[in-house]
Structure 1
Amino acid sequence: MTNGGQRPHDPVTEHPQPEFPQQDQPVPGWTGPMDPPPDHGEESYRGHGLLTDRKAVVTGGDSGIGRAVALAYAREGADVLFSHLESEEEDARETVRLIEEAGRKAVAVVCDIREEEQCRQLVDRAVAEFERIDILVNNAAYQMSQPDGIGSISTEQFDRVVRTNLYGMFWLSKMSLPFMPKGGCIINSASVQAYKPSPHLLDYAMTKGAIVTFTQGLAQMVAQDGIRVNAVAPGPVWTPLIPATLPDTAEFGKQSPLGRPAQPAEMAPCYVFLASPQASYITAEIVNATGGTPLP
């Protein structure tokens, strides 16, 4: 889906491999300074009309997995509203450009999903722009590495991680469902951390485990309404969150069996498939895209 029907590529060498240059950014991180630059599918993703005229909401769509999903959805024929933080305006403008270049409507909304009222305003804006929400992708997330253990996780950090990763997902799902027609879907971003938690990401991993449970429970709750709920659990992915929140980027992703991190473009097809009619019998599932790390 992402290579335009070209010959298969070696998944080990297709994208950059560690070691990467050591790099640090302030939170939340930006795409421009990253070395190597992330691949969102700008040159590789080819659409096949799988989401023609669908209306999608993607949180954290300015960069990383969110941008790759927004780009892929647009090239599949969907209009996309996405959220971003105020400090991410530059990245957001590039996502808008990519969506519009695909011939679809792009709406960028400044929204801190830690705040219930801002989540409500995001949904209201989506309904005003699109009249309905066919696809909700709860993707925005926050993490911060604490190698010194639980004693170094402040209440402020814990609150930010939980409110970003769980509260926002809960509010947006709850608020979007009344505007979601039969055939709609919710797709949540979980993580390999839900199953194989890294000690230095304890609070983040905890929330990703909760996302798996939320996904499976909500899917059963809304199945009779014709709504599907699934999640994608990526392994290490090269996004701005990495240089902004991890102390060592040089060997990021090297621990995966493929020996490298994923590029955001490699995650997008999972989100496309789960949103498409081809996945009509798939709900309460977690699609693991971990680069070979076995999961339960």
Structure 2
Amino acid sequence: MTSPSNYSTTPVSEFLLICFPNYQTWQHWLSLPLSLLFLLAMGANAMLLITIWLEASLHEPMYYLLSLLSLLDIVLCLTVIPKVLAIFWFDLRSISFSACFLQMFIMNSFLPMESCTFMVMAYDRYVAICHPLRYPSIITNQFVAKASAFTVARNALLLSPVPILSSRLHYCGKNVIENCICANLSVSRLSCDKTTVNRAYGLAVALLVVGLDVVAIGISYAFILQTVLKVPGGEARLKAFSTCGSHICVILIFYVPGMFSFLTHRFGHHVPHHVHVLLATLYLLVPPVLNPIVYGVKTRQIRQRVLRVFFPKGWI
């Protein structure tokens, strides 16, 4: 796989994250909207989690799924964004070998977990709209527990090898990652070894996992749309369209930038590098901001409970 001469170079013990090599002068300005989005994402998801935890009336399967989604968003934001802001504000570009691959492991595990959660939530909406009488018997706490276990097990088994394979590569000489995060491709291309297996496995698993989730979500919303079109009365139909439309927008915002970044990293050699970096960073921030708003605040029960928990009577 490698020639002995490659190993004569001093092994790499840390990496340097260079977010925008040619645009470092405006990183401080970019940090302002990023920090605001980070605070909004953390605050909104924490507020949603606390509300669901404190309000016994929200201890139902649908709200447990929302809690899981918020928890995944918080972990992803905390894994990546503080380091990005440290680079922008204090020029703290170095990241240790172990910390880099830990970040890669969390991103490779939790992003597909979020994808799987979207799939389960789409199925939840499908049962609620297409089979409302059977909903209480199908979507139970036991169902949520099994779905959560499946989400964790699937991604642990299929996606854990991605950072493990990258960490086993030999890194010598080059240690500058032209990215704000320890993305698999950005790191593995610095290796002295051949990365054909890594790239092939990462591509195959990502397409398999995300592809199946997207197909399942598409089928669920196709059945939902078919059922909604049969609903008599314009107001009820409009309400259903509004709810499903906002959900689909959030799902598209989660998948489209991620798939664009994933595919252009491999095949889009003419796309400017700073576009890749910016998309990868925003991809980890925008969905966590929108998820609690669309899935939480737009739901009347949650909106009322949030006001009751955080704005007691007499405060507003």
Q: Same fold (TM over 0.5)?
A: no
Greater per-residue strand proportion: 1
| TM-score normalised by structure 2 residue count | 0.28
Structure exhibiting the larger radius of gyration computed from Cα positions: 2
Higher relative contact order (CA 8 A, sep 6+): 2
Greater per-residue helix proportion: 2
